[in-house]
């Protein structure tokens, strides 16, 4: 396995690979890898001949009051996990190599990013799309794999790829969870014990809505109520948002959840914001 730091070296390597006819897969991550990330690597290995995992804590997707400085990092452990998984290249650039000090160009999506995390984290998706576009240009993938854990992100990246004609196939991977249902996340490490004890309620509440949906409940307000009821008092956490949205447009589904919907929620715990979602079809 090769570790590449220099963006130019990464691009030259990818260009040579593409010219040799290899199919390139990329898995973009911010590191502190867990099974969720590794499940995406396994998908990429099935889909491509040569797999690049990118490790970059992207500052432009963090707001000024967010957890950029506290974001967990463990480069050596990440590399060992990648090696064991058969990753071909770990691309781990430094911030000044990725962003010129006077960079002025960003990628912005105007509609799918209006709600959910786009509303509570202004500028977040501008940072995500900009870095993903840059990573596509540096790793030249045929296929890129992203997790359903970040459901809005996946849909926004699909839209960017379509609208900017990136020749990249976007593949989504299912959410991997801890035994108690908590969606795996690098940020879970930063939960204090009280918050970690409450965290399973996020998924439990989504499952309660799914049970109601499977029993025929289609009223949006009733589905939402099931989630809130199960969430109960989350202190020391608090709900940031809870939305039942159309799975394609990400707009509120209106009074009835007749088309496939996504129930997405974000909970702010002390110093850690967790997101989760479920798709009902
Ligand atoms: P992150 O390092 O958190 O930016 O995530 C990198 C990629 O891994 C994104 O495409 C995430 O959606 C995906 N991911 C994160 N957590 C999970 C999980 N629990 N299951 C599946 N994919 C995940």
Tell me which of 27, 29, 31, 158 to substitute to probe ligand 1's pocket, judged by most ligand atoms within 8 Å of the beta carbon. 29
Q: What is the share, in percent, of the chain residues with pLDDT greater than 90?
A: 100
- pLDDT of 203 reads 98
Q: Is 146 in the pocket of ligand 1 (CB under 6 A)?
A: yes
Q: Which atom of ligand 1 is nearest to the CA of 39?
A: 21
- pLDDT of 59 reads 98
- pLDDT single digits (tens) 1-55: 999 999 999 999 999 999 999 999 999 999 999 999 999 999 999 999 999 999 9
CA of 273 to the centre of ligand 1 (A): 14
- pLDDT single digits (tens) 169-188: 999 999 999 999 999 999 99
**115-132 average pLDDT score:** 98
- pLDDT of 135 reads 99
Map residue 48 onto helix, strand or coil: coil
- pLDDT single digits (tens) 61-81: 999 999 999 999 999 999 999
CA of 255 to the centre of ligand 1 (A): 31
Cα 228 off chain centre by? 24
Q: Is 150 in the pocket of ligand 1 (CB under 6 A)?
A: yes
Residue 37 is a catalytic residue = yes
Contact predicate 170/146, CB 8 Å:
yes
Quickly state the pLDDT bin for 150 (edges 50, 70, 90): very high
**Alpha helices, DSSP H only, in the chain?**
7-19, 35-47, 75-85, 95-98, 116-120, 124-139, 151-163, 193-198, 200-214, 220-231
Give me Rg for the CA atoms of the chain.
19
DSSP annotation of 144? E
**103-109 average pLDDT score:** 98
- pLDDT of 269 reads 98
CA distance 170 to 129: 14
- pLDDT of 63 reads 97
Quickly state the pLDDT bin for 246 (edges 50, 70, 90): very high
Contact predicate 72/187, CB 8 Å:
yes
Tokens 């995390």 sit at which residue? Answer: 117
Average pLDDT, the chain: 98
DSSP annotation of 150? G
What are the extents of the domains in the chain? 2-173, 186-280
Quickly state the pLDDT bin for 214 (edges 50, 70, 90): very high
How is domain 2-173 classified at the CATH fold level?
A: Rossmann fold (3.40.50)
CA of 275 to the centre of ligand 1 (A): 11
Q: Is 37 in the pocket of ligand 1 (CB under 6 A)?
A: yes
Query: Where does residue 140 fall: left (phi above 0), alpha (psi -120 to 50 degrees), or beta otherwise?
Result: left
pTM over 0.85: yes
Please name which of 89, 53, 92, 57 lies closest in space to residue 72, comparing C-alpha atoms.
57
CA distance 30 to 56: 5
- pLDDT of 40 reads 99
- pLDDT of 43 reads 99
CATH architecture of 186-280: 2-Layer Sandwich (3.30)
Quickly state the pLDDT bin for 242 (edges 50, 70, 90): very high
Contact predicate 117/125, CB 8 Å:
yes
Q: Is 175 in the pocket of ligand 1 (CB under 6 A)?
A: yes
């Amino acid at each position: 396995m090769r570790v590449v730091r220099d963006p130019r070296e990464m691009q030259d390597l990818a260009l040579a690979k593409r010219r040799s006819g290899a199919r390139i897969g990329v898995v973009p991550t911010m590191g502190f890898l867990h099974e969720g990330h590794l499940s995406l690597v396994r998908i990429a290995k099935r889909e491509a001949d040569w797999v690049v995992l990118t490790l970059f804590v992207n500052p432009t997707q963090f707001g000024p009051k967010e957890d950029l400085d506290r974001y967990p990092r463990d480069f050596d452990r990440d590399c060992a996990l990648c090696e064991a998984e058969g990753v071909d290249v770990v691309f781990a650039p430094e911030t000044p190599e990725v962003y010129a000090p006077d960079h002025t160009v960003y990628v912005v999506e105007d509609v799918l990013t209006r709600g959910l995390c786009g509303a509570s984290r202004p500028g977040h998706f501008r940072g995500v799309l900009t870095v993903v576009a840059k990573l596509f240009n540096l790793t030249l993938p045929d296929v890129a794999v992203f997790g359903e854990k970040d459901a809005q992100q996946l849909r926004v990246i699909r839209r960017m790829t379509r609208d900017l004609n990136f020749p990249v196939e976007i593949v989504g991977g299912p959410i991997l969870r801890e035994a108690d249902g908590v969606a795996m996340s690098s940020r879970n490490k930063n939960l204090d014990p009280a918050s970690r004890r409450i965290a399973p309620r996020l998924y439990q509440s989504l499952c309660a809505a799914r049970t109601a949906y499977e029993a025929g409940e289609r009223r949006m307000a009733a589905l939402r109520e099931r989630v809130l009821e199960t969430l109960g008092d989350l202190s020391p956490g608090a709900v940031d948002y809870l939305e039942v949205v159309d799975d394609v447009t990400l707009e509120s589904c209106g009074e009835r959840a007749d088309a496939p919907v996504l129930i997405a929620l974000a909970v702010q715990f002390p110093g850690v914001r967790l997101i989760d979602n479920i798709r009902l079809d």
